[in-house]
Amino acid sequence: MTDTSWMARVGARLVTNGYAILPIAPGTKKPGQFARAAWHDYPQWNRHATRATTEFEVATWSTWPGCGVGIVGGAVAALDIDITEDGELALRIERLARERLGDSPALRIGRAPKRLLVYRTTAPFAGIRRAPLEMLCLGQQFVAYADHPDTGQPYAWPDEGLADLDLESLPAIDATQAAAFIDEALALIPPEMRPKSLGAKAANGAAQPSMPSHSQAGTLAAVRSALAWLPNAELDYDSWMRIGMALKGALGEAGADLFADWSAQAAKDVPAITTKAWASFKPDRIGAGTIYHLAMERGWQPEPELRLDGSVGDDVEHPAAGLLCRLGVAAATPAAPAPSPAYSLVIPDGLVGDLTDYMLTTARRPQPLLALGASLCAIGALMGRQYRTQSNLRSNLYVVGIADSGSGKNHAREIINETFFEAGLAHYLGGNKIASGAGLLTALHRQPAILFQIDEFGMFLAAAADRKRSPRHITEILDNMTELFTSAGGIFLGAEYANRDGTNERRDIVQPCLCVYGTTTPLHFWGALQGANVVDGSLARFLILPSDEDYPDENIAVGIRQAPLALLQGLQSVAAGAGGVKGNLTGKTADQNTAVNPMIVPMTEEARARFQHLSLALTEELRAAAGTAFTAILARVGENALKLALIVAVGRDPSRPEIDITATDWAIGFVRHYAQRTMEAVERHVADTETEAHLKRLKEIIRAAGAKGITKSEITRASQWLKSRDRDEILLTLIESGDITTGMRDTGGRRAMVYRILTS
């Protein structure tokens, strides 16, 4: 015997022959996994019953020491003759199986005289156990190649092993044939060799069919149907009591006659004792589930029209729908709701639309979403400290536009710089970079309503969010931004210093309006974030706007540009506020310490009702998302939507703004859509550990390949930052978790295995 495992020797051949296989832990009959230098249980092994085994899985399992090979039931069924006392009887039942089910060449011997015959199924069916016989099938497995845990010797295939037999060469059977054979064969087994208890466990590490969770109560029709599969042929006292208590738990007093009739099947039944026992039963947990489970072990399959759970009415989904689906039985299910219509970006009217349109008509590569985000931030800064909602929300916005390099994402920033200078509003512009937290506060102290436009925002965020490696003056930037966001309607109190010599005086800012518009690439932005940024709310304060088209058609006709006079005048009007101050003095009428009294922008009753409805909906979603990282994002949806509606309303009419239903619907739809996309992106990209980050990044590489899939060599070229072993472990993890699947495609004149994202 060499050190080469059974999996390494025969695994690939078995897959080629059409079998779904499993790794078996050495010295056991159970599926196992080898990790961290030790074997562990494989609790989710039955996922392999729904798909073919991949070459990659076989190659990985073949490196595991002592790995045996199991066969997954479903496409195959195995008759397990678990008889040790009478070798002749075991042979007799084997011969009967060959006569009734077909002369299978696949006979396996573990500990003689026990034996197992393998068949092909015409359709997968639930396994049937009538000890000491069992037909292993759907949801079960058996060991094919390994050393027997009792004898220490390899399992023997006296004729031909499955490694030498194509699946199609096995005799085919169906559920009806299997059940009929079990009934006939069971009659050959003397009563003393049959277990007297209903609690016998399945062999071979097999997973018995399980019922979905339901209440203790059952229905009379379902319980009667299941009980028919549990004949009382002189059962032991414990099994008799167990059935009685389960019947009373399932049906209450309505089950008394059913128990009496069932008990009377045994010759030793005494009706008076049965009645007395029934009166003494006080089950508090045992009930219908026990009856159903024991019956299913013996081959019972509930009819689709049977209602199993007695605690619910008739107008709910069939309680056994999941089970029946696995068993191939049709169950009535309600129609799926119609999909919601796809979101379509709409540019609002007024000054927001005018500024966005100017950006798009002058762009070499127009980016509508990014242009809109930049316009909202720019106008939000201009109207800062001038307008507020009835709930005292302000127009301070944090927006991040995400697009690939060379996609034209810088154009919007250039337009804002140019138009602000032409309109005499350059003092609203912060620098291109924020060097420190103190520098940010100094800029706001000088100009309390200000717009910062930051290129390579992902790189900036990576430094500002890294509290372990970045200096404090950098991490303070994100801390100050978080605090300033919530201080827009009040007073931001500056830091206190021990030495107050005039240069270190505390700097307070009345109603600061900080607007930030950043642009970045997807890789830099999502790579900079950690789960903590989602949970602590720093990410939730940003509107994340990912471009739908990284490289739009190029407009080669653009050239020298001149901002329309009406656009410049509109920007000046917003900066002046409802008071109407014009010209170069716009925005300079109040400094950082001057108390200001912004105009309250009214809201129509229809718009108010819409925001109230949004609040109720978000409350339910927050409750449903409790304990997840998404609550912080959901909690900001209503606030951000109201801010956008405010900006659009002021842009329409700076003198007499009003938040109406059109601005409300647009703002809610916009924020809702991009909040959902942000949560999806967090799920796909944001990681707390390096291992999790590598896994998500590799998954995105496979996702980008689309339906055609991606080969292993292509994955390697795209993920050269990974070590080969780490890459293989990640791929196996993604396959076993059901995130990706494998297939074959023609590549360069040959067939190659490819990996694809598993879509639901």
Verify that 224 and 176 share a domain, yes or no: no
CA angle 539–685–41, rounded 5-degree value: 125
Beta bridge partners of 156: 109
Q: Does residue 331 sit within a domain?
A: no
Residue 330: how many CB atoms within 10 A of its CB? 9
Helices (H), ranges, 281-388: 288-297, 321-326, 350-361, 368-382
Mean pLDDT, residues 559-566 taken together: 88
Mean pLDDT, residues 127-142 taken together: 87
Q: Does residue 343 sit within a domain?
A: no
Q: Does residue 546 sit within a domain?
A: yes
Mean pLDDT, residues 583-595 taken together: 49
Q: How confident is the model at residue 328 (pLDDT cuts 50, 70, 90)?
A: very low
Verify that 541 and 677 share a domain, yes or no: yes
Q: With a cut of 90, say whether residue 458 has pLDDT above it.
A: no
The angle, 0 to 180 degrees and rounded to 10, between the axes of the packed helices 237-251 and 256-263 is: 160
Cis peptide before 65 (omega within 30 of 0): no
68-72/76-81 β-pairing? unpaired
Beta bridge partners of 309: 218
Can you say how many angstroms the Cα of residue 82 is from the centroid of all Cα atoms in its chain? 42
- Asked whether 115 and 81 are in contact (CB, 8 A), the reply is yes
Those residues with Cβ within 8 angstroms of residue 592's Cβ, 6 or more apart along the chain or in another chain? 444, 445, 446, 448, 507, 508, 509, 510, 512
Q: With a cut of 70, say whether residue 100 has pLDDT above it.
A: yes
The Cα–Cα gap between 35 and 40 comes to 7
Verify that 559 and 418 share a domain, yes or no: yes
Beta strands in 73-223 (DSSP E): 76-81, 107-108, 115-121, 128-130, 133-136, 141-145, 172-173
Place of tokens 């989602």: 534
Q: With a cut of 60, say whether residue 197 has pLDDT above it.
A: no
Decide which of 500 and 131 is more confident.
Answer: 131
Decide which of 309 and 161 is more confident.
Answer: 161
Q: Does residue 40 sit within a domain?
A: yes
- Asked whether 207 and 46 are in contact (CB, 8 A), the reply is yes
Beta strands in 632-701 (DSSP E): none
pLDDT digits (tens, 9 = 90+) for 46-99: 778 778 888 878 988 998 999 999 999 999 999 999 998 888 999 999 999 999
> Tokens in use for 627?
């304990």
Verify that 301 and 421 share a domain, yes or no: no
Domains identified in the chain, total number: 4
Verify that 697 and 674 share a domain, yes or no: no
Verify that 673 and 733 share a domain, yes or no: no
- Asked whether 20 and 52 are in contact (CB, 8 A), the reply is yes
Spell out the SS3 assignment of 120-139: EECCCCECEEECCEEEECEC
Q: Which residues of 386-425 are buried (b: 16+ CB within 10 A; e: fewer)?
A: bbbbeeebbbbbbbbbbbeeebbbbbbbebbbebbeebbb
Sheet holding 740-747, edge to edge: 710-711, 750-757, 740-747
Mean pLDDT, residues 524-540 taken together: 60
**pLDDT recorded at residue 317:** 47
Verify that 55 and 186 share a domain, yes or no: yes
Return the minimum-mean-pLDDT range out of 11-15, 49-53, 543-547, 702-706: 49-53
Percent over 90 (pLDDT), the chain: 38
Q: How confident is the model at residue 207 (pLDDT cuts 50, 70, 90)?
A: very low
128-130/133-136 β-pairing? antiparallel
CA angle 445–572–490, rounded 5-degree value: 35
Beta strands in 665-748 (DSSP E): 710-711, 740-747
Q: Does residue 254 sit within a domain?
A: yes
The Cα–Cα gap between 382 and 600 comes to 16
Q: With a cut of 50, say whether residue 366 has pLDDT above it.
A: yes
Return the minimum-mean-pLDDT range out of 312-316, 392-396, 459-463, 621-625: 312-316
Beta bridge partners of 78: 118, 136
pLDDT digits (tens, 9 = 90+) for 227-249: 887 877 667 777 788 888 888 98
Q: How confident is the model at residue 342 (pLDDT cuts 50, 70, 90)?
A: low
Q: Does residue 224 sit within a domain?
A: yes
Domain boundary among 682, 712, 731: 682
Q: Which residues of 720-740 are buried (b: 16+ CB within 10 A; e: fewer)?
A: eebeeebbbbbbbebbbeeeb
**pLDDT recorded at residue 245:** 87
Verify that 387 and 315 share a domain, yes or no: no
**pLDDT recorded at residue 209:** 37
Q: With a cut of 80, say whether residue 578 has pLDDT above it.
A: no
Indicate yes or no: pTM above 0.75.
Answer: no
**pLDDT recorded at residue 103:** 94
Verify that 12 and 135 share a domain, yes or no: yes
Decide which of 505 and 356 is more confident.
Answer: 356
Residue type at 374 in one-letter notation: A
CATH number at residue 24: 3.30.2250
Residue type at 577 in one-letter notation: G
Q: How far is CA 521 from CA 410, 418, 528, 553, in A?
A: 12, 24, 11, 19
**pLDDT recorded at residue 323:** 41
**What DSSP designation does 68 have?**
E
Verify that 70 and 89 share a domain, yes or no: yes
Those residues with Cβ within 8 angstroms of residue 132's Cβ, 6 or more apart along the chain or in another chain? 81, 82, 83, 189, 193, 194, 195
The Cα–Cα gap between 244 and 259 comes to 6
Those residues with Cβ within 8 angstroms of residue 597's Cβ, 6 or more apart along the chain or in another chain? none
Range(s) of the domain holding residue 282: 220-326
Return the minimum-mean-pLDDT range out of 217-226, 372-381, 442-451, 532-541: 532-541
Q: Does residue 588 sit within a domain?
A: no
Place of tokens 């029709």: 221
Verify that 230 and 309 share a domain, yes or no: yes
Count Cα neighbours of 288 within 13 Å in the Cβ-side half-sphere: 27
Verify that 728 and 604 share a domain, yes or no: no
Q: Does residue 203 sit within a domain?
A: no
- Asked whether 147 and 85 are in contact (CB, 8 A), the reply is no
513-520/449-454 β-pairing? parallel
CATH number at residue 698: 1.10.10.10
- Asked whether 120 and 75 are in contact (CB, 8 A), the reply is yes
Residue 338: how many CB atoms within 10 A of its CB? 6
Domain boundary among 649, 682, 715: 682
DSSP one-letter string for 49-64: GGSPPPHHHHHHHTTS
Instruction: Tell me the average pLDDT of the chain.
Output: 82
pLDDT digits (tens, 9 = 90+) for 266-323: 777 788 888 888 888 888 778 888 888 777 766 677 776 677 777 655 444 444 444 4
CATH number at residue 620: 3.40.50
**pLDDT recorded at residue 498:** 57
Q: Which residues of 19-58 are buried (b: 16+ CB within 10 A; e: fewer)?
A: bbbbbbbbeebbbbbbeeeebeebeebbebbeeebbebbb
Q: How confident is the model at residue 693 (pLDDT cuts 50, 70, 90)?
A: confident
Q: Which residues of 557-589 are buried (b: 16+ CB within 10 A; e: fewer)?
A: eeeeeebeeebbebbbbbbbbbeeeeeeebbee
Cis peptide before 113 (omega within 30 of 0): yes
Mean pLDDT, residues 345-374 taken together: 93
**pLDDT recorded at residue 594:** 63
Q: How confident is the model at residue 1 (pLDDT cuts 50, 70, 90)?
A: very low
- Asked whether 310 and 250 are in contact (CB, 8 A), the reply is yes
